[in-house]
Amino acid sequence: MLRTLASLPAIAAIALALPALADDAELRATAKDFFETIPLNPPELNGNVMTRARVDLGAMLFFDPRLSRSNVFSCNSCHNVGMGGVDALETSIGHGWQKGPRNSPTVFNSVFNIAQFWDGRAADLAEQAKGPVQASVEMNNTPERVVETLRSMPGYVEAFAAAFPGEADPVSFENMARAIETFEATLITPNAPFDQFLLGDDAALDEQQKRGLAAFMDTGCIGCHSGINVGGQDYFPFGLVERPGGSVLPEGDRGRFTVTETASDDYVFRAAPLRNIALTAPYFHSGVVWNLEEAVEIMGVSQLGTELTPDQAADIAAFLHSLTGEQPEVPYPVLPERGPDTPLPDPM
């Protein structure tokens, strides 16, 4: 507590200095040192080609509940393309109504993250896609049963052949993941007000959002939340300065430590990407905070040792609203008809 109290004068000084930053050109120049705009088109993928056939197949797979053992859940169940790419639950509900351990991260712009999952345990979206399909609390399936399911439907056999031409055995778990990766890479949200501001439109942010952007940089949020996704680029201890309470940071979830088994990774998580954050409540890997201002205030104390003023938290939250981009237009895919040998749903 001493630390946060001691920092109050410093905050006051920054607050007084803010009007100087209201010079839009200067604010933009500073921001451009830390952030990048979301491009209009998806980036190239490492070792994966985004052909139309592959993206279309990926869309089918993304929406197909038959990837889950119960046939109840699809990728879209927890990464809902109509809801900012999340399920808006504290933590996701999966197979048998089990509650998962962490809040579902958004699929939108996830192609720009350094790695996937809150602990970065998947290097890319293809690797990520294999996880929930097999997780017992999520889709609870096996690669063998997924491939058996896909091979049993002529529509999928045809779509995999078109998406992976020349391959002897196109219908595979690996190719399922690669196809999903290409579709997910299309789920980007360009043209947020913040991007338009970065590109030169002074009017894209209102005055409060500009104050919020300045505060976001001045108070040190950019130490972890920078780059194209305003986060998602590196790993940091949650509770860098002061560990939050056990509901926000449950003791049992030690984050990246489980991946690396390195003491310094205890309670370390990938800094949350903040693109579309206004759409993706609740917040943190624990998903217990529903209010964006409150999340900002918790971050101030736990990561910066700074008790933000209500005005600062409101300004920063207003800036964060400017990170909401154009939502992807996704036509609902028509899924292949089952075949006589398609495994039956197994909800039990």
Residues assigned a catalytic role: 138
278 contacts a second copy (rule: CB under 8 A): yes
Taking the complex as a whole, the smallest distance from the CB of residue 179 to a second copy amounts, in Å, to 16
CB 37 within 8 A of CB 228: yes
Residue 87 in the binding site for a second copy (CB under 8 A): yes
What is the C-alpha separation between 204 and 238, in angstroms, rounded? 32
Binds a second copy by CB under 8 A, chosen from 31, 97, 176, 210: 97
Q: Parallel, antiparallel, or unpaired for β 268-270 and 235-237? A: antiparallel
Residues 43-62 within binding reach of a second copy (CB under 8 A): 60
Among 13, 207, 290, 311, the residue binding a second copy under the rule CB under 8 A is 290
Among residues 4, 37, 51, 80, the one that binds a second copy under rule CB under 8 A: 80
When asked if residue 333 is in the footprint of a second copy (CB under 8 A), the reply is yes
Q: Least separation, in Å, of the C-beta of 140 and a second copy?
A: 12
Under 8 Å between Cβ of 326 and 262 = no
Q: How many residues at the interface with a second copy, by CB under 8 A?
A: 41
Assess 113 for contact with a second copy (CB under 8 A).
Answer: no
User: Per CB under 8 A, does 70 bind a second copy?
Assistant: yes
Per-residue buried b or exposed e for 149-184, using 16+ beta carbons within 10 Å of the residue's own CB: bbbbbeebbebbeebbeeeeebbbbebbbbbbbbbb
Contact residue for a second copy among 66, 210, 211, 285 (CB under 8 A): 66
Binding mask 130-169 for a second copy (x = CB under 8 A): ----------------------------------------
- Which one of the spans 1-9, 87-95, 194-202, 215-223 is the region binding a second copy (CB under 8 A)? 87-95
Contact 290, 281 (CB under 8 A): yes
Residue 347 binds to a second copy (criterion: CB under 8 A): yes
Token pair in block for residue 263: 């003491």
Residue 341 class from Cβ within 10 Å (0-12 exposed, 13-18 middle, 19+ buried)?
Answer: exposed
**Cα dihedral angle (33, 303, 294, 22), rounded to 10 degrees?**
-30
Among 132, 116, 87, residue whose Cα is nearest residue 273:
116
Mark the segment that binds a second copy (CB under 8 A) among 41-49, 78-86, 111-119, 250-258.
78-86
C-alpha gyration radius of the chain: 22
d(Cα 340, Cα 338) in Å, to the nearest integer? 7
The site for a second copy (CB under 8 A) is made up of 60, 63-66, 70-72, 77, 80-84, 87-90, 93, 96-97, 99, 278-279, 281, 290-291, 327, 329-335, 337-338, 340, 344-345, 347
